[in-house]
């Protein structure tokens, strides 16, 4: 895999990982990913922005084999898929310094065998002169780790945004406009990685919009050559009110909960709501997370087992609680065999989430007419002003 020119003197390098299907042993990435690094040549200095995942060592080192000198390596983020090859690159370029936030300094030495004297912290707004080109460092704490930053190439107006605006997408396209999957993948990425920090991301979105970038070069996915598209999308994902969209996450062991779930789906559609259904036995966590960006209501449909809600429903609840979406209402429906207490306590599943928890509809055994009527009444509550 060769280096690729973004514009004269600015190159993409790193690696495309066509085969990776999960991240953090948690996040599905069905379209693969990339580990982007960037090489900037000035009249006097050459700077490498980030490295790549350690699994891609041979790829990155081959790409650097004809680069005689690198003066500095910018470590935007200490996570190993960005910084994991810093020791190898520092060994290849013994004069190079690592530029990072003060918070990253300690994190990098905790994670990697890097001599502290080779790290040079930079402050928010600091400039680095390459000769004819200038990097401005932009601190972006909690987008999505506390030490994260970006870099802005002032003369060319390219924002190197690290995980901000990224997408898990393995593609032959250098630029986002050439791959029709890109924006959907960017939404999946936002939902699973940045949505938990929405209040901070909102402030940093204002910060980077003021730079008016011509291109955005993230650490995953293609270079964004139409930045207004992603900036507008992030504004929508962050600030637009939830849609009239209900998510029904369902699992049933013997069919009783399925009867309740089917009734709820029909009742919500009859009340003018869009509905997306997720089978928890084949849970598409990435699609569920993306749907949470827009949804106003969540219904967990699960039976009792082992003296509590079905464990697959607990997984969905944990995901919602961690991602902290803009939901307005949550409801729980399900069936039990001998005691309703096993399905009570829905509010405890969502500690600290600012959402209205509606009364549960629980039935003993197969649903009876009065249980189905209760589902209709719950649908009324879910649909009002959704």
Co-location of 218 and 278 in the same domain: no
Co-location of 195 and 264 in the same domain: no
**Cα dist from 250 to 236, 309, 338, 374, whole Å:** 28, 12, 21, 18
- pLDDT of 131 strictly over 80: yes
CB burial class (10 A; 0-12, 13-18, 19+) of residue 41?
A: middle
Percentage of the chain surpassing pLDDT 90?
Answer: 94
pLDDT, tens only, 280-328: 999 999 999 999 999 999 999 999 998 889 999 999 999 999 999 999 9
Co-location of 127 and 40 in the same domain: yes
Tokens read off for 220 = 């995953």
Cis status of the peptide bond prior to 144, with omega within 30 of 0: yes
- Please report which helix (H) or strand (E) contains residue 184, including its range: helix 182-189
Co-location of 57 and 107 in the same domain: yes
- Asked, for residue 51, whether it belongs to a domain, the answer is yes
What's 124's domain CATH number? Answer: 3.60.15.10
- Asked, for residue 186, whether it belongs to a domain, the answer is yes
Co-location of 23 and 59 in the same domain: yes
Q: What's the whole-model pTM score?
A: 0.94
Give me the pLDDT at residue 343, please: 79
Co-location of 54 and 159 in the same domain: yes
CB burial class (10 A; 0-12, 13-18, 19+) of residue 9?
A: middle
DSSP annotation of 373: H
Give me the pLDDT at residue 341, please: 81
- pLDDT of 185 strictly over 90: yes
User: Using an 8 Å Cβ cutoff, are 124 and 52 in contact?
Assistant: no
User: Using an 8 Å Cβ cutoff, are 133 and 114 in contact?
Assistant: no
Give me the pLDDT at residue 174, please: 98
Compute the mean pLDDT over every residue in the chain, rounded to the nearest whole number. Answer: 96
> CA–CA separation, 324 vs 345, rounded Å?
19
Query: What integer is the mean pLDDT of 193-204?
Result: 96
- pLDDT of 51 strictly over 80: yes
Tokens read off for 2 = 């060769």
Is residue 253 helix, strand or coil?
A: coil
Give 137's contacts (C-beta < 8 A, 6+ positions apart).
Answer: 74, 99, 101, 122, 123, 124, 125, 126, 127, 128, 149, 150, 151, 152
Query: What integer is the mean pLDDT of 56-78?
Result: 98
Give me the pLDDT at residue 14, please: 95
Give me the pLDDT at residue 190, please: 98
Query: What integer is the mean pLDDT of 351-373?
Result: 95
- Asked, for residue 386, whether it belongs to a domain, the answer is no
Give 341's contacts (C-beta < 8 A, 6+ positions apart).
Answer: none
Max Cα separation, the chain? 79
pLDDT, tens only, 230-284: 999 999 999 999 999 999 999 999 999 999 999 999 999 999 999 999 999 999 9
pLDDT, tens only, 154-171: 999 999 999 999 999 999
User: Using an 8 Å Cβ cutoff, are 290 and 188 in contact?
Assistant: yes
- pLDDT of 109 strictly over 80: yes
Q: Which residue has the higher pLDDT, 215 or 340?
A: 215
Give me the pLDDT at residue 323, please: 96
pLDDT, tens only, 324-361: 999 999 999 999 998 788 778 888 899 989 999 999 99
Bridge-based pairing of strands 10-17 and 4-7 is antiparallel
Nearest-CA neighbor of 58 among 79, 34, 88, 78? Answer: 88
- Please report which helix (H) or strand (E) contains residue 89, including its range: helix 86-92
Co-location of 319 and 184 in the same domain: no
Query: What integer is the mean pLDDT of 128-139?
Result: 98
Residue 365: which domain range?
A: 245-381
């Amino acid at each position: 895999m060769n280096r690729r020119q973004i514009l004269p003197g600015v190159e993409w390098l790193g690696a495309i990982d066509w085969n990776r299907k999960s991240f953090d042993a948690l996040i599905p990435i069905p379209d693969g990913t990339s580990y982007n690094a960037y090489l900037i040549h000035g009249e006097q200095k050459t700077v490498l922005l980030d490295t790549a995942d350690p699994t891609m060592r041979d790829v990155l080192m081959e790409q650097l084999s004809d680069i005689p000198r690198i003066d500095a390596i910018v470590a935007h983020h200490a996570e190993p898929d960005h910084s994991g090859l810093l020791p190898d690159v520092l060994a290849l370029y013994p004069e190079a310094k690592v530029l990072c936030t003060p918070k990253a300094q300690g994190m990098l030495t905790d994670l990697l065998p890097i001599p502290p004297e080779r790290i040079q912290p930079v402050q928010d707004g600091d400039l680095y002169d390459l000769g004819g080109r200038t990097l401005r460092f932009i601190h972006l704490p909690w987008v999505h780790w506390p030490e994260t930053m970006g870099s802005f190439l002032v003369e060319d107006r390219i924002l190197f945004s690290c995980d901000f605006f990224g997408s898990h997408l393995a593609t032959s396209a250098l630029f986002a406009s050439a791959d029709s999957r890109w924006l959907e993948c960017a939404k999946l990425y936002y939902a699973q990685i940045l949505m938990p920090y929405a209040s901070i991301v909102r402030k940093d979105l204002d910060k980077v919009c003021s730079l008016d970038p011509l291109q955005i070069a993230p650490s995953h996915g293609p270079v964004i050559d139409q930045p207004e598209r992603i900036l507008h999308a992030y504004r929508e994902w962050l600030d637009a009110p939830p849609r009239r969209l209900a998510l029904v996450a369902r699992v049933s062991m013997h069919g009783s909960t399925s009867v309740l779930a089917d009734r709820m789906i029909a009742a919500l559609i009859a009340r003018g709501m869009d509905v997306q259904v997720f089978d928890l036995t084949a849970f598409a966590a990435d699609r569920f997370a993306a749907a949470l960006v827009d949804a106003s209501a969540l219904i967990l449909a699960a039976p009792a087992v082992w003296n509590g809600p079905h464990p697959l429903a607990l997984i969905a609840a944990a995901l919602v609680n961690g991602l902290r979406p803009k939901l307005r209402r949550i409801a729980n429906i399900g069936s039990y065999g001998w005691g309703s207490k096993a399905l009570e306590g829905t509010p405890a599943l969502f500690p600290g989430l600012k959402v209205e928890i509606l009364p549960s509809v629980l039935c003993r055994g197969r649903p009876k007419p009065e249980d189905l009527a209760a589902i209709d009444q719950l649908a009324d509550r879910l649909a009002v002003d959704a």
